[in-house]
Structure 1
Amino acid sequence: MDDWLTTEQAAARLGIKRETLYAYVSRGLLHRALDADGRRSRFDPGEIDRLRQRHRSDGEFATLVSTRISRPTDEGLYVRGRDLVAEASLSTFEQAADRVWQAGADETWPSVVDADELLDDVQSRLSRHTPPMDRLRIGVALASAADPLRDDLSPAAVRTAGRRAVRMMVMSLPRRCSLQGDGVADALWCRLARRQAGQRRRFALSRALVLLLEHGMASSTLGARVAASVRADPYSVITAGLGVLGGRLHGAASAPVHRLFAEAARSGDAARALGDAQRTLRSTPGFGHVTLKRRDARCGALLEAVTSAWPTDERLQTVLEVYDLATDRTDGIATVDFALGALTYLADMQTEAGEAVFAIARTVGWVTHALEEYDEGPLRFRFRARYVGD
């Protein structure tokens, strides 16, 4: 056992803290032995290396990151030890974000009502057909450029940067109707929807933002943590998350659901519209999840808010008919993307609006993971390539 690693050596090889190493031991991911004197722990270097590069059946890399932030399960989504699905009916987006960020009571959000000259100037130069995600990236870039203190990685400063980024992302979208409130959800509604809405409809959007703000180690969140591990500033972390979120299999998953509802309503044949969508996409829009297998609690919570907000809208029957058809004929579960597509469809938002909602909400999660990653050893995500070329 002379060649076995000490605690310090094992933690350094994994790029983690001592506390995280012992968390792996307590969870059965690692085993330790004691020195002859029974005082110091030793770790098998082979086991440490296997944990560094865990292999799936296809032989490719999978990574495990210990976190105290969230635990997504089929039963519910628990963030900071509390049920986020239940909290979505009680908290505003800002309140939920501050709790997840563990913000102080004296920290405040910047106004999403006041104009920004720099942003207005950039917007005037964009085509009205500029996609929402492009506008969000521009908003984050401008927020970064206007913040000379962006390299301050202290928790309060990172939270401040997160709030500034959210504000600029919302304001980067062109206004479509008059503002009815001063919250993030109110401001986002008037920039995504063509018409003003009552409190229930704006609440549905607020609930969507809360439900989407965090969901474990999704691909975009891993990208954000990799950026944080090299000590990128919070705006760069958010930009990294946005880059991954732009994939059509991640943040844009609600758009085909929206199109499915529109086609079902246009043709008057929900079954044919669903069949055409399945044939084109080789999957059912809004159904099936990578990690959740029995239930996505976020979907039910958001559909409840949507049904309450548009109870007499005849288009709601189209949504429910498609839901029933897909549930009867599909093995996968209905996900939050299905409910988000229903929200953007019934609210007369553009097809890509759901991606903007997703991105703005998940910014909170990326900042949360950045805060946690900044406390870890730097550069711990140094993946290794397995060369298979000539």
Structure 2
Amino acid sequence: MRDHEPHPGHPGRRLTTKEAAELLGVKPETVYAYVSRGQLSSRRAPGGRGSTFDAAEVEALARRNRRESAVSSGSGAELSVRTRITLIEKDRYYYRGVDATELAARHSYEEIAEWVWTGRLRPGAAFTAPEASVAVARDAVLSLPEHTGPADRLRVAAVAAAVEDPLRFDLSEEAVLGTARTLIPTLVAALPPVHRSHRDSGSLARRLWARLSPREPDEASLHILDTALGLLVDHDLAASTLAVRVAASARAHAYAAVSAGLGVIEGPLHGAASGLAHRLLQEVLEEGNAGPVIAEELRAGRRIPGLGHRLYSGEDPRARALFALLEQIPRAEPALAAARDIVATTARHTQLHANVDLALAVFTASSGMLPTAGETIFAVARTAGWIAHALEEYAERPLRMRPSGQYVGPKPPQPLPEAPVPVAD
């Protein structure tokens, strides 16, 4: 029982051990453990039977425990965000409930982007970029050093396009969708072409090909590129997507949210992973055998790129879909054989399946593209998914993506630091 019954909002309200345990979601003995650790204070109940606890103090501890359980890796819990975009389940993944690999096999990247954004299919959807936006973005990209990586080029293009758009701060769904339909082709058009007879017309895949390969594209290769773009539109809360949602939670405009995602994909464990797999494939092709190449990678303490995925126990469904298409391309056979050799060699000790990075590497290596081409494909494709997540986040409470830090530094108050005494010459 309570030792008195003030109004519920009264700061002096006190709880019994049982009430405190229920509020904290723990056993009564755990409440006393909190007391012994100094996390709660207690007072003997009238008559000496049991203890009472300050309600405000208990409620503050309960809130702190909930925050820590959501963000603390030590507890095994992870940040969970409600989304209607992508479900990953039983080695398959779905865009708004529809199998993503089947969508990518039957629809263009632009059509899949529209489906992910709106839940409606727009047959024949095509994205075009305003000339003014392309001109500004292209000039900005051309001013960069020649060795600049694809993520940096795309990020600079996104910033330049944002400056050109006076309506970028309109976060209504209609305005953001308009931005998405022009930003993606602007990013592609801003990249320097490597094909001499390139044209900024046709499908987005055809326009992107001219920025990736000096070869003339055939329809089969364009279909693989378009399928790869569709397969990579989204993959739940990947690291870059979480960064986008954090930016959108702070009500950053769509260009800035996309820029946040582009900043994350440069990591070797995310968008740049296909480039590492591409280089590994090239070494195996030159060596003629995956064995010595894999041995050298392991000797150097490096993980083998293109293998395994924490969300799939079997083969990555995106890799399976791309490999099936690549098997129909005769020039891809050497790279495919090298990829199979890599998987078989590592399987002697660890059963790791191919992931989409290895499949992308087979495609880029067999298409005369640079190792960074896979990163470009990934970034352009994922921009559609980032926009979808930004739209979801704009509809949520602002600044909800704000976990609390778990401070582990020196306990205050600490003395002011003293400046070092200068030493005379």
What's the TM-score, normalizing by structure 1?
0.82
- Aligned equivalent of 2:108: 92
251 and 281 in structure 1: CA distance in 2 versus 1, 3 angstrom threshold? farther
**Which residue does the alignment assign to 2:286?**
266
Does structure 1 retain, via aligned residues, the 8 Å contact 2:158–2:183? yes
Is it true that 1:355 corresponds to 2:372 in the alignment? Answer: no
Hey, what does 1:333 align to over in structure 2? 353
Q: In the alignment, which of 162, 171, 179 is matched to residue 198 of structure 2?
A: 179
Q: Judging changes above 3 Å, is the alpha-carbon distance between structure 1 residues 326 and 172 closer, same or farther for their aligned structure 2 residues?
A: farther
Contact between 1:112 and 1:170, CA under 8 Å: does it hold in 2?
A: no
Distance 2:225 2:348 in 1: 28
1:132 & 1:193 partners in 2: Cα distance? 14
Match of 2:266 in 1: 246
Structure 1 equivalent of residue 336 of structure 2: 316
Structure 2 residue matching 1:171: 3-state secondary structure = helix
Name which of structure 1's ranges 282-291 and 94-103 shifts more when overlaid on structure 2. 282-291
Task: Supply the RMSD in Å over aligned alpha carbons.
Answer: 2.9
Question: Larger relative contact order (C-alpha < 8 A, sep ≥ 6)?
Answer: 1
Question: What SS is found at the alignment partner of 1:71?
Answer: strand
Amino acid at match of 2:264: V
Q: How far does residue 276 in structure 1 lie from its aligned partner after superposition?
A: 1.8
| Deviation of the 1:280 alpha carbon | 3.1
Higher mean C-alpha displacement, 239-248 vs 280-289 = 280-289
1:58 aligned partner, one-letter code: G
Per-residue deviation at 1:300? 0.4
Q: Which residue of 1 aligns with 2:232?
A: 212
* 1:111 shift after superposition: 2.6
| Stretches of structure 2 lacking an aligned partner (at least 5 in a row) | 9-24, 26-57, 411-425
Which moved further from structure 2: 118-127 or 377-386?
118-127
How far, CA to CA, are the matches of 1:204 and 1:327 in structure 2?
A: 27
Matched, 1:383 2:403: yes
Compared CA separation, residues 278 and 183, structure 1 to 2 (3 A): farther
> Number of aligned pairs?
353
Identify unmatched segments of 5+ residues in structure 1. Answer: 6-29, 31-43
Cα distance 1:135–1:388, how it changes in 2: closer, same or farther (>3 A)? same
Change (3 A) 1:312 1:227: closer
Q: Deviations over 1:16-64 (max 9, x none)?
A: xxxxxxxxxxxxxx9xxxxxxxxxxxxx967665443326562587311
Aligned with 2:67 (options 52, 75, 83): 52
CA spacing shift, 1:366–1:353, aligned 2, 3 Å: same
Q: Counterparts of 1:246 and 1:272 in 2: how far apart (Å)?
A: 28
How far does residue 312 in structure 1 lie from its aligned partner after superposition?
6.5
CA distance in 1, matches of 2:83, 2:225: 28
Q: So what's the TM-score if we normalise by structure 2?
A: 0.76
Task: Report the alpha carbon displacement of residue 207 of structure 1 after superposing the two structures with TM.
Answer: 0.9
The equivalent residue for 1:167 is: 185
**Aligned partners of 2:125, 2:403: CA distance in 1, in Å?**
38
Offset of residue 304 of structure 1 = 1.2
1:122–1:382 CA distance, 2 compared to 1 (3 A)? closer
Instruction: Tell me how far 1:328 sits from its aligned partner.
Output: 4.4
- 1:149-181: per-residue Cα shift (whole Å, max 9, x none)? 111111121111122221121122211113376
Q: Structure 1 residues 136 and 77, CA, compared in 2 at 3 Å: closer, same or farther?
A: same
- CA distance in 1 between partners of 2:234 and 2:306 (Å): 18
Residue 128 of structure 2 corresponds to 111
1:69 shift after superposition: 1.3
Task: State whether residues 286 and 334 of structure 1, in contact with CA within 8 Å, keep that contact through their aligned partners in structure 2.
Answer: yes
Rg larger for: 2
Deviates more, 1:51-60 or 1:363-372: 51-60
Q: Could you give the per-residue CA deviations for residues 85-127 of structure 1, whole angstroms, max 9, x where no partner exists?
A: 1111111110000111117759964436969332343344333
Shift of 1:183: 1.1
Q: 1:225 to 1:259 in 2, by over 3 A?
A: same
Q: Distance in 2 between matches of 1:328 and 1:195?
A: 37
Aligned residue in 1 for 2:96: 80
Alignment check: 8 A CA contact 2:140 2:160 kept: no
Task: Please give the per-residue CA displacement for 1:322-353, whole angstroms capped at 9, x wherever unaligned.
Answer: 23323444333321111111111111111111
